[in-house]
Amino acid sequence: MPLTRLKHLLVPQDGLFFELMQKQAEIAHASSQALCHLFSDHHNMKKNAAKIRELEHQGDQLMRDLYTALNKTFIVPIDHTDISTLASALDDIIDLIDHVSTLLVIYKIAKPSSAMIQLAELVSNQTHELKSAVAAINHSRTYGEVSKHCTKIKSFENKADEVYIHAIEVLFDKKEPLEVIKQKEILECLESTTDKIDKAAQHISDIVMKHS
């Protein structure tokens, strides 16, 4: 085996893995911001949804790059499982945001409800904190910053639960069954996104606990 190949396998590729996961977190936040913009500019829904889809494609490429690097590297800065679990969670967040925008287009939602807008804003707030939390695991000296970001993410997730429950109660007062079905699915997807972000934050907390 060539020496350069052996070195690549044995020397921890710290910067590469953290860089890829940081980019995933940045795309997740950019996607959430684009979703908020889609809600505020819903008259151009297809155009704005296309921007989110492009971000989703970028996220998929990052995931492929990360798994390729993971499969080629013997020694990694943190456990293989920790990297793949967190990377998958970040990718799921991007996919869910893209799915919300797709549903809005497919279902031809003329005007997003206030609850949808609130949930999208909470997702954006969460991904902002998530981006900072992912950055904090790059160095052990910044591990102490993780807790405050994860606490904020949980707080936003709790608020999202309240908004979701109230929105469902109000939604079932409507008389148009088809509209109820459409809006319920979108609300559920948004709420699931807040849950997934909270789970990603839990993965980050676990990594810090394991390597502190």
What pLDDT, in 10s, does the model give residues 97-151? 999 999 999 999 888 999 999 999 999 999 999 999 999 887 767 778 899 999 9
pLDDT average, residue stretch 51-78: 86
Which whole number is the average pLDDT over 23-47?
95
Token digits of residue 93:
């967040």
pTM, two decimal places: 0.90
pLDDT of 81 reads 83
Under the banding of pLDDT at 50, 70 and 90, the label for residue 197 is very high
- Residue 1 pLDDT grade (very low, low, confident, very high; cuts 50, 70, 90): very low
Q: Which residues of 110-121 are buried (b: 16+ CB within 10 A; e: fewer)?
A: eebbebbbbbbb
pLDDT at 8 over 50: no
Whole-number Å distance between alpha carbons of 102 and 150: 28
Give the per-residue pLDDT at 75: 56
Residue scoring higher pLDDT (210 or 105): 105
Q: Is 90 exceeded by the pLDDT of residue 26?
A: yes
Domain ranges of the chain: 3-211
Residue 10: pLDDT over 70: no
Whether the per-residue pLDDT at 32 is higher than 60: the answer is yes
Pseudo-torsion of CA 19, 98, 72, 21, nearest 10°?
20
Instruction: Tell me what the mean pLDDT of segment 170-195 comes to.
Output: 92
pLDDT confidence of residue 139: 72
Class of domain 3-211: mainly alpha
Better pLDDT: 9 or 22: 22
Q: Evaluate whether 200 touches 76 at the Cβ level (below 8 Å).
A: no
117: alpha, beta or left? (left if phi > 0; alpha if psi -120 to 50): alpha
Rounded CA-CA distance 48/160 in Å is: 23
What HEC string does the chain produce? CCHHHHHHHHCCCHHHHHHHHHHHHHHHHHHHHHHHHHHHCHHHHHHHHHHHHHHHHHHHHHHHHHHHHHHHCCCCCCCHHHHHHHHHHHHHHHHHHHHHHHHHHHCCCCCCCHHHHHHHHHHHHHHHHHHHHHHHCCCHHHHHHHHHHHHHHHHHHHHHHHHHHHHHHHHCCCCCHHHHHHHHHHHHHHHHHHHHHHHHHHHHHHHHHHHC
Mean pLDDT for the chain overall: 88
- Would you state the pLDDT for residue 209? 84
| Band (34; pLDDT cuts 50, 70, 90) | very high
